[in-house]
Amino acid sequence: MGHPAAAAGGPRRRPIIEAAVELTARDGWAAVTMARLAEQVGVSRQTVYNEVGSKNALAEAMLTHELDRFLTAIRAAFDRHADNLVEAIHDAVRDVLELAGDNLLVRAIASATHGADTELVPLLTTRAESLLAEVKKMLADRVEAYHPALTAEQVDVVIDVVTRTVLSHVVQPTGTPAATADGLAWLASRVLAEPARTPLRFA
C-alpha cells in the first residue's frame, strides 16, 4: 500500500525531491536515505516518508521532476516559433542540451551507466522508457500543428531520429549544444523541404 501523500504531494515534496537530486549527484544514490533528506530539508523522517513514499518512488519522483524541466524548455521553444518548425526544433535541441549540461541528475545517471552508481539505473530504466514515449507523443502533437507534408509515420521517424540523437549527446556530447542544434535543424529542414513521395514500406 503506497502513501497517499506521495502521489498528490504536499508543500515539502518539492524541496525533498530537489535535495535528493543534489545528494545523488554529490554522493551517489546509495548515500540517499530518508534520514539524510530529513536533516537536509529540516523536517522529520516521517514527513519525508509521507511526502515521497519508498526510495523507489523517490527515484521516480526525481526523474519526473527533472523531466518536467526539459518539457518546459521544449514547449517554450515551440511556442516561440509557432510559424517555423525548423527554428522550433533548433531551439528545442539547443535548450535541452544546455539544460542537460548543467543537470545534476542527468550527470548522476550518466556516471551510473559507466559503473559509478549502478543501483540507480535499474530503478529508472522502466520509468524512463514510458516517459520517453510520453515525450514523443507530445512532440508528435506539436509537430502536427505545423501541418508538415509528411505522413504520421514519417513524422514519427523524424522525431525518433532527433530524440535518439539528442539523448546520445546528453550522455556523450561531441559538440556544443548550438552546433548539435544546427545540425539537426539542417537535417529537419531537408526532410521537410523534400517530403517523401511514397509511404514507408513497413509502417
Express as a percent the part of the chain with pLDDT over 90: 52
Tell me the per-residue pLDDT of 147-193, one tens digit each, with 9 for 90 and over: 999 999 999 999 999 998 998 888 788 899 999 999 999 999 999 98
Distance CA 4, CA 10 (A): 10
Do 142 and 168 lie in one domain? The reply is yes
Distance CA 170, CA 69 (A): 15
In a domain, 101, yes or no: yes
Express as a percent the part of the chain with pLDDT over 70: 84
**Mean pLDDT along residues 5-12:** 62
Q: Extract the C-alpha cell encoding 136.
A: 514523443
Do 99 and 73 lie in one domain? The reply is yes
Tell me the per-residue pLDDT of 40-87, one tens digit each, with 9 for 90 and over: 999 999 999 999 998 888 988 888 888 888 899 999 999 999 999 999
Q: Which domain holds residue 68?
A: 63-193
In this predicted structure, the answer to whether residue 196 has a pLDDT above a threshold of 90 is no
Do 9 and 73 lie in one domain? The reply is no
pLDDT of residue 103: 78
pLDDT of residue 38: 95
* CATH number for the domain that contains residue 18: 1.10.10.60
Q: What is the pTM assigned to this prediction?
A: 0.80
pLDDT of residue 119: 66
In a domain, 198, yes or no: no
Q: How far is CA 92 from CA 70, 80, 105, 194, in A?
A: 9, 10, 20, 22
Distance CA 101, CA 92 (A): 14
pLDDT of residue 67: 84
pLDDT of residue 3: 44
In this predicted structure, the answer to whether residue 2 has a pLDDT above a threshold of 50 is no
In a domain, 203, yes or no: no
79 φ, ψ to 5°?
-65, -35
**Mean pLDDT along residues 105-116:** 62
Number of domains the chain contains? 2
pLDDT of residue 82: 96
In a domain, 199, yes or no: no
